[in-house]
Amino acid sequence: LDGLTARANLPPFKRVEFGPLVGYRFGRDGDVENALVALLPQIDDAYEAGAFAAIESGPLFARGDSVRLWVDALHDVSGAHKSWIVTPALGYASILTHRLGTNAEISASFAGGDYADTYFSISAPSSAASGLAAYDAGGGLKDLGASFQWTYAVRRKWSLVGLTGYKRLVGDAADSPVVSEAGDRDQFTVGLGIGRSF
C-alpha cells in the first residue's frame, strides 16, 4: 500500500520489481473550498488500474544505500476521466545510523488529453456559471515533484516516519484557471506517521 495506490510485486528477484497497480483518485463535488470551482461540474471519483516496474541498485557510496528507478502507469477504469497518467521517478535511500534512514525522490507525471480535459478544462457554459475563463487543456507533462522521507527506529519493530513533499504543476495544467486563478501551482505535503515492521 502506498497512499491511495496498491501494488503487488510478482517476480522473485531481489532488485527488479513489476506487477499490477490499482489506484483511487478523488473527484470534485460541490463541497470544494473555492467558491468559483464549486460552481464547475462535479467529477466522479476515479478507480484506476495499470502496472508498475522498478529496478534498484546495490550499495553505491555507503553500506545500505541504493538508487531506485521506477515508473507507474494507470488508466481510469471507472469512466471518470477515461484516460491515463504515467509517473516515472528516481529515488535515493541511505542509512545514516542504526536508527535513522532517509529517502529522497524526484518524479514527473504525464497525463493523457482526456485526463487534462476532465480536471483542467472549462467549457463555455461552465465559464459563464463560475466566472472563470473558458479553457481547453491538453495532455502532456502535468507536474514535477520532489520529496524527502526519514524513518527513525524507536524500538526494534516500531519507528517514526516523517515526510515532506513538493509538486509544481506545469504546462496546460498550470495555465488552467482552475489552478492559476482559483488554486495554486505549488503543492506542498507534510506528514508524520508510525511504522511497524513484521
What confidence tens digit (pLDDT) does each residue in 60-119 have? 888 889 999 999 999 999 999 999 999 999 999 999 998 999 999 999 999 999 999 999
pLDDT of residue 18: 96
Name the residue with cell 475563463: 133
Q: Look up the pTM and report it.
A: 0.89
Quick one: how far is CA 197 from the chain centroid? 24
Per the CB < 8 A criterion, the answer to whether 91 and 104 are in contact is yes
- For 118-156, the DSSP string reads HHH-B-HHHHHHH-PPPB----EEEEEEEEEEEEEESSS
Task: Kindly report, residue by residue over 144-182, the tens digit of the pLDDT.
Answer: 999 999 999 998 889 999 999 999 999 999 999 999 999
Per the CB < 8 A criterion, the answer to whether 104 and 96 are in contact is no
First and final CA of the chain: distance in angstroms? 15
